[in-house]
Structure 1
Amino acid sequence: MGTSVRVAVVQAAPVLLDREATVGKTVRLIEEAAGQGTRLIVFPEAFIPAYPRGLTFGTVVGSRSEAGRRAFARYWDNAVDVPGPATEAIGAAARRTGAYVAVGVIERAGPYRGSTLYCTLLYFGPDGSLLGKHRKLKPTGAERLIWGEGDGSTLTAIRTEFGTVGGLICWENYMPLARMAMYGKGVEIYLAPTADCRDTWQATIQHIACEGRCFVLSCNQFVTRQIMPADWEDLGPGPEVLCRGGSAILGPLGQYLAGPLYDREGILTADLDLDQITQARYDFDVIGHYNRPDVFRLIVNESPAVGFESVPRPEVVHEEEA
């Protein structure tokens, strides 16, 4: 394994509700980041086609509005098929630049209309292949209205020539057992794409770095009210900046190597000295000498959930054919 690698986190906004335009922007940003010598490039949660911040989709307890249903249908129409044209374009960019790329997307689960949406992190290799994906296990709060729950089969960790890469999405990182499952996979470069721009998120990613004795790459979007589609759903009055960012890269003792970046788009880069992981784990190895498997035991179900995705689409027989 190499002892150093340059990485990047991309703080940007999508072209909201325009999947093809956002894929184009993603490709340009991959090329820009790779031009700075980076080997691993990470994008925010729900980057394609949007994190629907502030929207209600017409829901109150006990009822849904017709306008809200139309807003959801438009969101679904712009979601990503995996695999599909969007993943092919991103994979091609990874291949051209020779970089590993992780991108947050809203994934459509199946080929049928209205199939469940998932908040998903996709991993691409430098050969352009889709190496794996992680579906958010527990959408937070009102996210549960629009996204399904992932299962243990997508607790993905990717082995690279510079170390093991994996992570969790946003508030999954508040799930101690989920973190421990990822530490148990030997993650050395921990990805934490998010939509949380609060100061307390910085405490979270510092804690993960110290707890896992790993590098942490966290990235968020910078979104203003001006770029939200005016014909999607009325957000009502409020501040112009909807998400101020807060992307950052941290070392395995919780120290900032880049960021946090606020109030603008940008690409943060850092050179990770991988020997620092060994140095940091000298006095704390969360799955080794600082673990007590004789007292505590974690059981992780990594089997795929059995659901509609595993059921073949029914064959349609027209009357004239019957």
Structure 2
Amino acid sequence: MLSFWYKNFSHIPRHHGDFHRAKLIYHLLLFVCILAGVVTALNLFLFDAKEIAFIDAIGLTLSLCIYWYFRKTGNVKVAGWAVTILFITIIWAFLTVWSGNNYGIVWATLIPPVAFFLLGRSMGTLVSIVFFSYATYIVYGHVQAGLTYQLSLGGVLNVIEVLIAHIMLFRFYERTRADAMLQLQQNREQLEIIANTDKLTGLNNRQRFDQQLHKYVVDAERKQQPFALLLVDIDHFKRVNDQFGHLFGDSVLQSLATYLQQNLRSEDFLARWGGEEFAVLMPNTSSRQAYQLAERLRELIADTPICEHEVTFSGGIAVWRPGYDAETLLGHADKALYKAKDNGRNRIEMYT
């Protein structure tokens, strides 16, 4: 039965803004149909309250009509208003016929959570104020008449039914809040990945590199442990673009990024620094170790055809020393890189 009731619910995707409103509409209509059917039978056969049974029967009929309309159209806005008005009409009729006796006034507390969620904050506030004004008028009439509530089976059932409805509503709201927070967290993580990733190569981008370099400098100052920075620049990359086109140049960058990533140590941090340049942070690495690793990478790339063409790179290394900040270290590595270019390219130079 439940699978049939929610049959067309999937027409609204989970990330859509109306997903939870549609879900609540289906839940409320199911709740009203079940409750109205049970209460109609109770009022007819147990309490002999035909007027209340008639009101509940009308609520059941209207709920089924709204449900049919919503399944056919999927119009959340119209269905939301229809459900809210249905709730208001049933409770208003109930309070009017019985004047809120037998603890029936507690049904008025269902209006705000329904109205706020389905109509929004502004209209939900207005509808709640209007209906609470009417409920206050009912209660004031009781005070003026000196009426005292008598605890009876009907009163107990009213309280139980409303408490069940509140539990269902707040469980739904808590689930909705949890889903929204999870979606927000997933979106935030996805945006963070996009913001820190180079679109072409899939490597860390310059922004992420700057953040990591600053962290390395702070950690090195605290622990007094050296780390190395390697800047890599593809030799004569402009010729590649001019001769074979920029799309081919992009393929070279992507392939070189893959080779570098596969042949660095797991603890090394690789980023695309800009254009045809890459940067590698090597934690707990001495100048000799950094040079050996960079030279091994250079030889590997020089001996491996990239996109069926010979590609070489030049590299410059600088090692952190006490008192160096990020800009100083970058400047030293950049000088070493240009020294490698000036000395004929396809080589590694160390800043001294």
Q: Per the shorter chain, which TM-score range?
A: under 0.3
Structure number with the higher helix fraction is 2
Report the TM-score when normalising by structure 1: 0.24
| TM-score, length basis structure 2 | 0.22
Q: Rg bigger for which structure?
A: 2
Q: Which one has the bigger strand percentage?
A: 1
